[in-house]
Every structure is written in C-alpha cells, then in structure tokens.
Amino acid sequence: MQNPYSLSNTFDIINNRKIYDLQKCFAYLEWQGKQLYGQSFKIHQDDRKTIYSLLIYAIRDKENASKLGIDLDKGILLSGPIGCGKTSIMHLIKPFLYAKYDYKIKTTRSVSFEFAKYGFETLQQYTEKSNQQLRLTGYCFDDLGAEQQIKHFGNDCNVMAEILISRYEQFIENNSVTHITTNLSASELENAYGNRVRSRLRQMFNLVAFDRETKDKR
C-alpha cells in the first residue's frame, strides 16, 4: 500500500509558518495506524472530536486551542475506557509535535517494576534534569492507575504519586511538560493518589477524554 500522505503533505509553509490541513492530518494518522497496528485500524467518527483536540494541541494551533480551552503550556491527560485507543493515538500524534515537546511513552506498570528492582534510584530518571537540558525529559506515562503498589526491600512507595509531584515542581519552575493516559475518572485518581496529587493534575494537564461509552476496539 502506497502512502497517500507523507507528514510533509499535511501542511503548507506560509509566511514561515506551517499551516496544517486537518483532513490530511486525519488521513495520515489513519494510514500510520494501519502500518503500526494492522489494516483493521481506523479512526471512528465518534473519536474524531477527541483526536481533533489532540491534533490542535500537537500542532500548537493557538486560535483553535483557545476555543477548545486547551492550554498549550500544559500536558495532556487523556482519559477513556479500556481499549478505546488512548495509547495508540499518543504514539500516532508524536510526529506532529515540535521537537522540544516530544515525549517517551512509558507504562506505569514498568515504572513500578523498575522501583521494585532498583529502588528510589528509579525516580531520578523521571524527575531530574540532565546537564544538557533546562527541562525534564518529556514523558507520557501510559495507563496511570494500572501499576501495582510494589515494595523495594520493604520500603513502600506510591511511585507514580512521587514522580508526578516532582514533575509538577519542575512544571512550575521551568515548564517541563508531562502527559498521561488513564482509564480512571477524576474521583478514582484522587482515591488512588490522594487529593494533593489530584490538585496538581488539574494545574499540569489539559483533560482530553474519549466518550466513556466507547467500545473496546481491540
């Protein structure tokens, strides 16, 4: 299958600015999805509004972001039921991001297992700046709430709560951006991580949500 749209075909350069054609962006996303996830991949009509919001954020369209209530200086908290495609779309929109807003996708389960193996040193790679950067490395923590409360030599730690609080401090200090996907509702997040973390989530993230009635697409 020949790609009808390369990434460079989704925009025109006008006055040194990229002006995107969102229909071509959707076509590119669907084509890329088929390459990564199989020919059965498709963008459902019911999901287009959610993906539109993510695209507006990724291409930093200030006018439409303002209309949608999206703060381009915050991260994305992408919420929705199991199997709705949260992880897939966070992979697929990455090519549209400006380089300094790029991120690595890391499951929260793997972070918790790292803590079980290596202890508190695990937290450093997610909460400390490198010598070359003013900001933290960008991360999308995938499936927040799915990780287990794991101990390291008897030391109990809510690993993701600690990471998010530390990254909040860096968000305030130098605009370091974090992203999250989760199946949990706001009240479930508060139950899992406490009111302190939930309060910081409100300040750090734009909430973008798939319909809770969306069926499992897997």
For 161, the token pair is 């709560």
Residue 122 lies in a domain: yes
Q: Quick check: is 83 in a domain? A: yes
Point out the least confidently predicted range of 3-12, 22-31, 41-50, 75-84.
3-12
Residue 48 lies in a domain: no
Name the token pair of 112: 């918790």
Tally of domains within the chain: 1
CA of residue 60 relative to chain centroid, distance: 15
pLDDT attached to residue 4: 59
Range of the structural domain that residue 137 is part of: 71-209
Q: Looking at residue 33, what is its pLDDT?
A: 95
> Is residue 11 assigned to a domain?
no
- Could you tell me the CATH number of the domain that includes residue 160? 3.40.50.300
Q: Which residue has the higher pLDDT, 75 or 194?
A: 75
H or E element, residue 20: strand 17-20
89 Cβ neighbours under 8 A, 6+ residues apart: 29, 50, 51, 54, 78
Q: pLDDT tens for residues 115-160?
A: 888 888 888 889 887 656 677 889 999 999 988 665 544 456 788 9
Reported as a pLDDT band with limits 50, 70 and 90, residue 53 is very high
Does 149 map to a domain?
Answer: yes
Would residue 45 count as lying in a domain?
A: no
For residue 93, being part of any structural domain is answered with yes
* pTM, two decimal places: 0.89
Classify 182 as helix, strand or coil: strand
Pairwise CA distance, residues 156 & 191, whole Å = 17
